[in-house]
Chain A
Amino acid sequence: MDNHSMDNHQPHHHLKAAIVFMIALALLASAEAQQPRAPHTMDNVTLYGANVSFGGLANTSGGSITVMNLNVTYQNPRWKAYVGNISGKLALIDAQNKSLYDWTVSTPEGELYATRNDSMISWDAITCANYTNIFDEEAAINFSHGWTDSINATFNRTVHRQFYAGNVLITGNSCPSTTLNVNDTAQDEYFQELVLNDGSHIVYSTLIEQGVPGFNNLTYDYQMILPDSGLEDTSVTIPYYFYVELI
């Protein structure tokens, strides 16, 4: 073995060590950033050996194999929810805004829209968002496409009613959509939210309901979730602007 070949191997060893170190650092950083919450349940699936109280200190003595499943639920910082009610009035009015008769709308209709774009939505160009639109949006707000809670993974269905956005017909079950929980339970019928696009910008749309029990069993006319910044450890909130359509 000559000195030259020995000299060439040494830099590779250093490099490998550096890579391993950096990976270890990254794992440590992401682990810390998770800020784990207390587990919801701790199932002691398999226990061989000494008894351990459920939920208590696991202090297994030697000679036993303990398998413990941890089920953790924690707040997702990358999404924000908006819930609420809408009131309005329908009336038969003349050119001077005098009403012949009016009905207090206890059954509101329509959609609530939200978008990051603060300058203009081209409402006559509204259509369903496609994969490319969503992918670009994820990149813009620092979402990883592979995340479990990516936009694409969240709006991974096409279950929604037909409606008009201005003069544009959005056909039923045609756009990326999701539905939000009723009484902490997943369902399909109410609180349908879609992802639309006006040719340049993503526009989220939620179909307004009529006083339906929402996620916490209180009644709401709308529920909506919007992705926030995908950056770790950031206090930056992505601005969203809300629109409704006058009927």
Chain B
Amino acid sequence: MGKSEVGIVKRGWLLLVLLVLLSAYASAQNAEVVISNSKDWKDVYSVMQYGYLAQKVPAFIVSDRHAPVILNQWDPAAFTIEAISSKSRPQVIGYKSIIEGNGFTAKETVSDQITIDLAARLTDINQYVIVDPLYGYNAIAVAPYAIVSRSFVLFADQDTIADVDRFLSSQNPEHVLIYGHVDREVMERLSKYDPETINEDGDRFANNVAIVKKYKEINDAKQVLLTNGEVVEAEIMSGSQPVLFIGVENVPDKIKEYIKNSNIAVGVLVGNNLVGTATTVRRQTGISTFVKFARNAREPSGPVAQIEGLDIFYLPKVPFNLQISKIRYNKITRQIEVTYTNPEGVAVFFKATFTVRSENGEEQVMGDVDPLFIEGNSEKTVVYPVDPFTGEALSTDIFVIFGEARYSLERVLSGTMDVEIVSVTDESQLQIEKILLDRKNNLFLVYLKNIGEVDTYAQTEVHDVFLLGERRIFGAQDIVKIPPGQTGISKIPTEVFGDEDITNNPTIKVRTYFGEREDALVKVIEGQLDLRIKGFDIIDYAPHIIILLLILLIIGAMRKKKCEHCGHKNPRKRKICKNCHNKL
């Protein structure tokens, strides 16, 4: 081989080495996509926040059909993909092979504790936000704040707090924020981290405004995302702008006031489910409002292309509802009686306006100034005094706004109903005697005396109970019947009371609805009573006592009788000593 040929060979090898190095460099520079493969919204949420905090490209699949389609938006030459799959609830099995089949370099991580695993990967993060997984909307509210403050959101309730605490202990966190209502065990267990808390009486809209204010301390965004906290979507999780809840059918006053008093100029609605309330925001606050409603289809379909919906993962909703079962005009009392039914297990606040008309053209408007409370799975009758109607055929227009919190009335109940006409008197009379807290059974016991002469039905609520720093209302689901002259007990389920909670509630506001008719508790009595703790009650321990007595009897029966003369121990039943034959 001549010198020139050797030179060519050397240059060829050099070129080859350069090419290899370049390709290695290029692959190292490939962006990484992380895709959530899970049916559990908490996993989806955690993957999205991990992706944004780790500066990767996060995404999620919402079904098995979605799994290959989502891959069409990335170039295999420019992206590698990691699938983070739920061990127990994946969308697809073996997602790695699907990804590799589309030409990507892929890996798959399978886990049954995705949130904590991903939190552990982020070694430069040591600030955490804690939310209860029962309230998915709280997680959505804090998501943008978590990104801008470089915090990781963890889910904790009484069942999972041990794992979360163990993880936090290993991280020595710099700051912990507890957002929204959490279980007592969570509060107590996390107290050692001296956490900051945001929880304004469990009101999701009030809490949302508070976290938006914290966001704006870091990034004074003049643009917000409008949602109701029921979906995970990329723009919501990106942290580029704070999230503001606007309600499903009604925009709470708290939100409108905040927008008007802030420097927010633009709202972007994600998805088109809430166009109605977003339009209300636009018109009542004056901010520009855009709707992000679609994306281009990822499956090629020709030059004139299709569009498809946004990638959205729906969170489980906290179900609450309100119905009106009866509306009556009582001629004798001159009252409109409205009976509400709460068919779900979640307590609700409501505020109503009624326009009652007769066939004679009479019209009267009545309603509530302040929101009222109705416990889950219960009924309540509210009465409104009216001027006498002369007509015999009455109907009413109904407009009721309701929600989970007192000033977060986001749903609407509206329509028209016929009004039944009755002529009924109510001679019931009641007196509230005392209220006891049964700590063993987590019950308020309200003692009610029937001081009238007719059977009386009653249902009781306790208001403004301060529990774990939150003002709460508890109501009895059952109606008690109290004969005349008797005392009945209305039992109200509550939560565990700590010693501090008892100290914070020396008196309790008690409100009792009662009446002669079980389906029309048209009277109300209210009082502020000293809270007493229920003492030892033998009835509560009767089973234990009986068992103890039986045991003692059995032991006694098994004991032997000792002879006084010779000391021999005889069976209990014997009357003559077996040994010395003397009388026992």
Q: Residues of A at under 8 Å CB distance from B?
A: 7-8, 10-11, 14, 75-76, 79-83, 93, 95-98, 113-114, 118-124, 166-167, 226, 229, 231, 234-247
In the bound complex, CA of A120 to CA of B290 (Å) = 12
CA distance A82 to B74 in the complex (A): 21
Say if the beta carbon of B535 comes within 8 Å of chain A: no
Q: For the complex, give the distance between the alpha carbons of A81 and B73 in Å.
A: 17
Residue B122 at the chain A interface, CB threshold 8 Å: no
Q: What are 23 A-B contacts with C-beta separation under 8 Å? A: A7-B4, A11-B8, A80-B305, A82-B304, A93-B280, A97-B280, A118-B238, A119-B234, A119-B235, A124-B222, A167-B288, A234-B75, A236-B73, A239-B73, A240-B295, A240-B296, A241-B310, A243-B291, A243-B292, A243-B293, A246-B275, A246-B279, A246-B291
Query: Is B2 in the interface zone, CB < 8 Å from A?
Result: yes
Contact across chains for B223 and A122 when beta carbons are under 8 A apart: yes
Sort A-B residue pairs by CB-CB distance and give the 10 closest, nearest first: A166-B288, A120-B240, A119-B238, A80-B305, A246-B289, A242-B294, A240-B296, A7-B4, A123-B266, A119-B240
Partner of B3, one of A7, A120, A239, A243: A7
Residue of A nearest to B233 (CB): A118
Name which residue of chain A comes closest to B296, CB basis. A240
Asked if B138 lies at the interface with its beta carbon under 8 angstroms from chain A, I say: no
CA–CA, A119 and B223, complex, Å: 12
**A76 touching B240 in the complex, CB below 8 Å, given contacts A10-B4, A97-B250, A245-B290:** no
B374 within 8 A of A: no
Given A244-B290, A246-B289, residue A123 in contact with residue B223 (CB < 8 A): yes
- Given A10-B4, A235-B300, A245-B290, decide whether A81 and B223 contact each other with a Cβ distance below 8 A: no
Chain A hits for B250, CB < 8 A: 96-97
Please indicate the chain B residues that have their CB under 8 angstroms from the CB of A8 in the complex.
4
Are B74 and A236 in contact, CB atoms less than 8 angstroms apart? Answer: yes
Partner of B7, one of A11, A122, A234: A11
A109 to chain B, nearest CB (A): 15
- Of B282, B300, B303, B307, which contacts A246 at CB under 8 A? B282
Q: Contact check, B310 vs A236: say whether CB atoms are below 8 A apart.
A: no
Q: Is the CB of A83 within 8 A of B296?
A: no
Q: Are B223 and A241 in contact (CB under 8 A)?
A: no
**With the chains together, A239 CA to B294 CA distance in Å?**
11
The residue in chain B whose Cβ has the minimal distance to the Cβ of A114 is B296
Given A10-B4, A14-B8, A123 contacting B296 (CB threshold 8 A):
no
Contacts of B412 in A (CB 8 A): 96-97
A244 to B271, CA, bound (A): 11
Closest to B76 in A: A236
CB B216 to nearest CB in A, in angstroms, measures: 15
CA distance A166 to B290 in the complex (A): 8
Bound-state CA distance A202–B24 (Å) is: 32
Q: Which residues of chain A are within 8 angstroms of B275 by Cβ–Cβ distance?
A: 246
Q: Which of B189-235 contact A (CB under 8 A)?
A: 222-223, 234-235
Q: Is the CB of A82 within 8 A of B298?
A: no
Q: B4: which of A11, A95, A239, A242 is its contact (CB, 8 Å)?
A: A11
B245-278 to A contact mask, C-beta < 8 Å, 1/0: 0000110000000000000011011000001101
B320 at the interface (CB under 8 A from A): no
Q: Is B72 an interface residue (CB 8 A)?
A: yes
**B284 interface residue (CB < 8 Å to A):** yes
In the bound complex, how far is the Cα of B282 from the Cα of A119, in angstroms? 22
Q: In the bound complex, what is the Cα–Cα distance between A81 and B276 (angstroms)?
A: 29
Given contacts A7-B2, A242-B307, 14 further A-B contacts (CB under 8 A): A82-B307, A96-B250, A97-B249, A97-B412, A123-B266, A123-B268, A124-B223, A235-B300, A236-B74, A237-B73, A237-B296, A239-B73, A241-B295, A244-B290
Chain B hits for A123, CB < 8 A: 223, 266, 268, 288, 290
Most buried by B among A11, A14, A123: A123
Indicate whether B399 reaches chain A with its CB closer than 8 angstroms: yes
Within 8 A of A (CB), among B48-83: 72-75
B241 at the interface (CB under 8 A from A): yes
Report B's interface with A, CB cutoff 8 A: 2-4, 7-8, 72-75, 222-223, 234-235, 238, 240-241, 249-250, 265-266, 268-269, 275-276, 278-280, 282-284, 288-298, 300, 303-305, 307, 310, 399, 401, 412
B291 touches A83 (CB 8 A): no
Q: Is the CB of A82 within 8 A of B223?
A: no
Q: Which residues from chain A contact B279 at a C-beta distance below 8 Å?
A: 246
Contact B290 A243, beta carbon cutoff 8 Å: yes
Contacts of A241 on B, CB cut-off 8 Å?
A: 292, 294-295, 310
**Across-interface contacts of B295 in A (CB, < 8 A):** 239-242
Bound-complex Cα distance A124 to B263 (A): 12
Instruction: Tell me how far the C-beta of B232 lies from the nearest C-beta in chain A, rounded to whole angstroms.
Output: 14
User: Which residues of chain A are near B235, meaning CB under 8 Å?
Assistant: 118-120
Smallest beta-carbon distance A124→chain B, Å: 6
B293 & A244 in contact (Cβ 8 Å cutoff): yes
**B298 near A237: Cβ-Cβ < 8 Å:** yes
Q: Are B294 and A246 in contact, with the CB atoms below 8 A?
A: no
Other-chain contact of B290, A76, A236, A238, A246 (Cβ < 8 Å): A246
- A118–B33 alpha-carbon span in the complex (Å): 14
Report the separation of the CA atoms of residues A236 and B305 in the bound assembly, to the nearest whole angstrom. Answer: 14
How distant is the Cα of A234 from the Cα of B389 in the complex, in angstroms?
76
- Complex Cα distance, B77 from A231, in Å, reads 11
Contact between chains at B293 and A235 (CB < 8 Å): no
Q: Which residues of A contact B74 (CB under 8 A)?
A: 236
- Check A124–B293 contact: CB distance below 8 A: no
Q: How far is the CA of A96 from the CA of B291 in the complex (A)?
A: 21
Provide the bound-state CA to CA distance between A245 and B287, in Å.
11
User: Who on chain A is nearest to B265 by CB?
Assistant: A124
Alpha-carbon distance between A96 and B252 when the two chains are bound, in angstroms: 11
Complex Cα gap A145–B300 (Å): 25
Which of A79, A167, A229 has the most CB atoms of chain B within a 10 A radius of its CB?
A167
Whether the Cβ atoms of A81 and B4 lie closer than 8 Å is no
Contacts of A97 in B (CB 8 A): 249-250, 276, 280, 412
A239 to B71, CA, bound (A): 11
A80 touching B266, Cβ below 8 Å: no
Q: How far is the CB of A125 from chain B (nearest CB, A)?
A: 10
Identify the interface centre among A8, A79, A244, A246: most chain B CB within 10 Å of its CB: A246
Given contact pairs A11-B4, A167-B288, A238 touches B282 in the complex (Cβ within 8 A): no
Residue of B nearest to A83 (CB): B304
Contact partners of A93 in chain B: CB under 8 A: 280, 283
B289: which A residues are within 8 A, CB to CB?
Answer: 245-246
A245 vs B280: C-alpha distance when bound (angstroms): 13
A79 to B304, CA, bound (A): 9
Please determine whether B288 and A245 come into contact, CB atoms closer than 8 angstroms: yes
Query: Residues of B contacting A119 with CB < 8 Å?
Result: 234-235, 238, 240
Partner of A235, one of B72, B291, B292, B401: B72
**Across-interface contacts of B291 in A (CB, < 8 A):** 243-246
Bound Cα distance from A239 to B401, whole angstroms: 40
Chain A neighbourhood of B222, CB < 8 A: 124
CB closest chain-B residue, reference A167 = B288
B241 touches A120 (CB 8 A): yes
**In the complex the two chains form, is A236's CB within 8 Å of B75's CB?**
yes
Check A95/B284 contact, CB under 8 A, given A124-B223, A246-B291: yes
Complex interface: chain B residues within 8 A of A10 (CB):
4
- CB-contact partner of B75 in A96, A231, A247, under 8 A: A231
Given contacts A80-B303, A123-B223, contact A226 B288 (CB under 8 A): no
Taking the closest CB of chain B, its distance from the CB of A79, in whole angstroms, is: 7
Given A120-B240, A167-B288, A82 contacting B2 (CB threshold 8 A): no
B290 touching A242, Cβ below 8 Å:
no
